[in-house]
Structure 1
């Protein structure tokens, strides 16, 4: 497996990063063991966030004793200087460290800059001057915001969704980062669960020598797959290329990635699952999606008032009420037919 250098940061790690968001869904001992196994297996870049409840705490526990040999990235959802400093001190304490390798503004709607009136970028500059932050990063879901961040020349690392379902504009963003010497960290490499073939996902990422994917890991079996690619890295051969093209055709057009930024719904609708339910059923038929719980959840979509609060928050500009309606109709047809 190749090493990737994150732009001007000089951080060089295997092209196989650990996404720590799922750690909050499992027990602490299991989570700590998973991170330690990832480190032992060769992973060196660990990405978490203040917003991921206990994920920072668990990463900190797991990397105690090997902190200097790992790179830790975290994020702040703060939108005021006061909240920024509170988040930073909490992150340092939970991660059991006195510095963060890459500190990122989390899911921004603008490219913070000095003098913009928010004071946010100045906070990052001061934290870096104090040695508490080594490199300034940003995560975004909106393409034009991401381009603004890269072109500003103010950010050393950009984190953005990228998978083999991404379009040409996302690939342009990868090249923009290359030209600007900005590190590119790829989140949602499995498109929120729509991609089920890890080998194809890794082969896609391996085509880019400036992209570091972070894989959300929750189980030992998942980690074993990613670690197996350390010595046997898949390449985009003809068979995988054909498979990927077939996947793109199947998922062409608008689809929900399941990111959850549309939530919460005033009507209590589980939008980030219900708006893609038909895809999940078609791609991975499973009784798990046909339980009474999910039947109730899909029935709840009838409560949609089309207030469009969700569409205003959707980073992909999807017509969410329309998606909910179409997915409910498909779901009901599957139920009427007796299952997937």
Structure 2
């Protein structure tokens, strides 16, 4: 079973991390079962966030009696020190623990630093001094913020979107973290659901140049967990067949496309941007029936109500022209209804 050292933290994790965002969509009983099955099959790293509704609570229920055998990271989207302390106390309570291994600032629009107006980093340092957190990390989608965080030397881990659809700029970030001895946690290894062959994604991450990369896979169903557990026993090889599929995906998904991260939300016109702006891709890469339901037809119609207010564009970490993408996707969508 491959292991990854998370940079200067010295933490060793299984190269098969559990991303706990999706478990907010299933029952507590099912979530506890999945989490415990992952643990008893060798997964020792679990990532969640205060923003993931009841994900922390479910994790706490699953690991109350095995806490010392796992690594937990969670996140705060707080903008002030006061709110960070509230988030931290809430996370500790929900997770049923008295410490968090890696406490991460959740996709901030700036790089928190000691002495800045937010007070976030100073608060995290105090929490570390008190033993409530052990390591300080940051997550982000913005290249500029990511680079600043790496260069600052303040952070022990970086969580950043990474898959075989990565652009050259993304690959530079991965290498910069290695050079800085900064733990690199790869979120969205399946590109927000656009990559369908998990064996391709797993084999790509397993390459020697990514030995320092710790992927966290979003898991909601037992079948998904079983796929990743099977790769621990029989790792997929990056052979001709898998390479061909990766190249095909790169060709289809090159250029500007919505990753579905949801940071553009909420939309004042009620548009579910993070799905509507990539509908064309989903129709071609997933069973169409679900996306062509009456419910989704109504959701797509809301695109006509776009206010062109620019809020979504200003919040998009990838700099996409979201209104334009929405319009294109809606026109394409209507062709599937004929």
Task: State the TM-score, normalized to the length of structure 1.
Answer: 0.97
1:41-60 to 2 correspondences below 5 Å: 41-60=41-60
* 1:35 corresponds to: 35
1:134-153 to 2 correspondences below 5 Å: 134-153=134-153
1:123 maps to 2:136: no
* 1:109 corresponds to: 109
1:315 maps to 2:317: yes
Unaligned runs of 5+ in 1: none
Give the secondary-structure state (helix, strand or coil) at the position aligned to 1:51.
coil
Residues in 2 aligned to 1:233 and 1:161: alpha-carbon distance in whole angstroms:
22
Residues in 1 aligned to 2:239 and 2:168: alpha-carbon distance in whole angstroms:
20
* 1:228 corresponds to: 230
Residues in 1 aligned to 2:240 and 2:146: alpha-carbon distance in whole angstroms:
32
How many residue pairs get aligned? The number is 336
1:316-335 to 2 correspondences below 5 Å: 316-335=318-337
* 1:261 corresponds to: 263
Residues in 2 aligned to 1:237 and 1:309: alpha-carbon distance in whole angstroms:
44
Give the secondary-structure state (helix, strand or coil) at the position aligned to 1:146.
helix
- Partner residue of 1:286 out of 288, 312, 321: 288
Could you tell me how far 1:251 is from its partner in structure 2?
Answer: 0.8
Could you tell me how far 1:287 is from its partner in structure 2?
Answer: 0.5
Could you tell me how far 1:283 is from its partner in structure 2?
Answer: 1.5
Residues in 2 aligned to 1:238 and 1:280: alpha-carbon distance in whole angstroms:
26
Could you tell me how far 1:235 is from its partner in structure 2?
Answer: 2.9
1:35-73 Cα offsets, whole Å, 9 max, x none, are 000101110000000111110011011012111010000
1:174-226 Cα offsets, whole Å, 9 max, x none, are 10000000000000111111111000010111121010000110011111001
Residues in 2 aligned to 1:317 and 1:82: alpha-carbon distance in whole angstroms:
31
Residues in 2 aligned to 1:285 and 1:219: alpha-carbon distance in whole angstroms:
17
Residues in 1 aligned to 2:286 and 2:47: alpha-carbon distance in whole angstroms:
28
* 2:20 corresponds to: 20
- Partner residue of 2:298 out of 261, 271, 296: 296
Give the secondary-structure state (helix, strand or coil) at the position aligned to 2:237.
coil
Task: State the TM-score, normalized to the length of structure 2.
Answer: 0.98
1:174-189 to 2 correspondences below 5 Å: 174-189=174-189
Could you tell me how far 1:20 is from its partner in structure 2?
Answer: 0.4
Residues in 1 aligned to 2:287 and 2:228: alpha-carbon distance in whole angstroms:
24
Give the secondary-structure state (helix, strand or coil) at the position aligned to 2:158.
strand
Residues in 2 aligned to 1:206 and 1:168: alpha-carbon distance in whole angstroms:
19
Residues in 2 aligned to 1:87 and 1:305: alpha-carbon distance in whole angstroms:
34
